[in-house]
Structure 1
Amino acid sequence: MPPTDRIRDHAGQGATTVAAHRARRRLRADAARQLADLLRRQLLTGGFPDGTLPHESTLAAEYRASRNTVRQALDLLRAEGLVERLPGVGTVVVAEKYPHGLDRLMGLAETLREHGRVTNEVRTMGPVAAPAPVADRLRTAPGSDVLYIERLRRLNGLPLSLDLTYIPLDIGADLLGADLENNDVFRLLEAITGRRLGHAEITLEAVNADANSAAVLEAPRGAAVLMLERLTHLADGRPVDLEFIRFRGDRISMSGLLHRSL
């Protein structure tokens, strides 16, 4: 074989080896992500009652994965702040996410009452001229005043969400003297109007926390937060509460029961 052909053949083998190595790394990363998803579900739903995950070899055997894949999966969970590696102990659960249901219209204190006490720090409250998108969603006259409320909400003292709320002023005026530190707005709205809330339109997406939101939530700057936009209506269909809620993604999980319509 001529020297040039041998060089080309060697280069081709080298390229094939590199490509194969990259493919193996990609497959292992895919498998680690899949395993992390399964383990995350277990540790967030009490699947490890004593707070300690099984040994890596046990996880590898149970999930038919390599030890390297298990280590990568645990590294992913550690990066999320859900587990930590303790010398002489193993991998332990260090964080808890609280469930927030999406199939019922409930305030945060109602939703999390089994997990502790929700308190509200009212950071800003008062009438403001409604921005055009707010006036449109609440069906108020452009430029008319609405009640604006900004609250930092804590569960058992830990920052959980930053809530920005707009309410038509004919209803919101009665909230100015209400105890918003210890009550959900939903309950107060029903008490003020004498009517039940009916339904809400929601949009849920992940956004990066701006510097101010991150500081208020005591979260890393630029961390992903769950943004819930919710427009709540009274039972007669009138929109009464437009909210933009930033949840710490490492402390809340969203769930619901969905039915397929034929």
Structure 2
Amino acid sequence: MSLDRVREHPAPLAAARRRRLRADQALQLADLLRRQVLAGGFDRDGGVLPHEDTLRAAYRVSRNTVRQALDLLRAEQLVERQPGLGTIVVARKYSHGLDRLQGLAETLREHGRVTNEVRTVGPVPAPACVADRLRLAGGDGAQVLYVERLRRLNGLPLSLDLTYIPMDIGIELLGADLENNDVFRLLEEITGCRLGTAQITLEAVNADAHSAAVLQAPRSAAVLMVERLTHLSDGRPVDLEFIHFRGDRISMSGVLHRAA
């Protein structure tokens, strides 16, 4: 837009800038409030957030900004408005640590009980990308054990895990109790070797029809997809997983150290 056009329409441009600023402030406030919700910061008040006027004064923003921020948290189903009570916390995300290599039950044990519904288990020909990542002899078409599990935390669907394991190890898992055990622990028992390291990739994706149905989430809802390739302590890759977490029920956290 030319400077002449800008001078001709100063009021609409100023209004647009104000709306953008308010939206930016609402996002910032939502981030701060979300952190407190997830950390249990409002538990001592019975899970009730401060009144809108209190938030407005504390964060030095407008009433509209406060309402927009609360609308964002409502859309995430973290809070809801209840007449006579105000804005209350209705859900919390479970913190999944990234500091240690652990199975889901180990990671979330302080939050409750993880159960596994084994939906599929059996040998399949390895797709080329799986064979490459697991360094399988014979490459594309080599047999791997494929396991699909729905993981629940306290009865609520949390993740859909798709796992590929080399068949020389996977054959031992066919008779194992996959419903009540983490695969990590079983791998260490079978191989007699500790797990060592894992390469991990996190990204947000839209739930496909299958994932949405299994996780009881709206189709195309945001899902946190974790790709993890786990190695034994001797360096052999033994477990390739694609884990689809419900984004409204999990958060990832860890401690990062700056390299010298």
Q: CA deviation at 1:12?
A: 7.2
RMSD of aligned C-alpha atoms? 1.2
Pairing of 1:1-262 with structure 2 (within 5 A): 15-49=9-43, 50-140=46-136, 141-142=138-139, 143-262=141-260
Find the residue that maps to 1:20 and give its secondary structure.
helix
Find the residue that maps to 1:241 and give its secondary structure.
strand
Q: CA deviation at 1:15?
A: 1.6
Q: CA deviation at 1:212?
A: 1.1
In structure 2, the residue matched to 1:5 is none
Q: CA deviation at 1:14?
A: 6.6
TM (norm. structure 2) is: 0.95
Partner Cα separation in structure 2 for residue 96 and residue 243 of structure 1:
25
Q: CA deviation at 1:182?
A: 0.9
TM (norm. structure 1) is: 0.95
Larger deviation, residues 61-70 vs 245-254: 61-70
Aligned partner of 2:240: which letter?
A: L
Unaligned runs of 5+ in 1: 1-8
In the TM superposition, structure 1's runs of 4+ consecutive aligned residues that sit over 3 Å from their partners are: 11-14
Aligned partner of 2:24: which letter?
A: D
Q: Which structure has the larger Rg over C-alpha atoms? A: 1
In structure 2, the residue matched to 1:4 is none
Determine what percentage of the aligned residue pairs are the same residue: 78
Aligned partner of 2:201: which letter?
A: T
Number of equivalent positions: 253
Partner Cα separation in structure 1 for residue 69 and residue 8 of structure 2:
30
Aligned partner of 1:253: which letter?
A: S
Aligned partner of 1:54: which letter?
A: P
Find the residue that maps to 1:114 and give its secondary structure.
helix
Find the residue that maps to 2:177 and give its secondary structure.
coil
Find the residue that maps to 1:177 and give its secondary structure.
coil
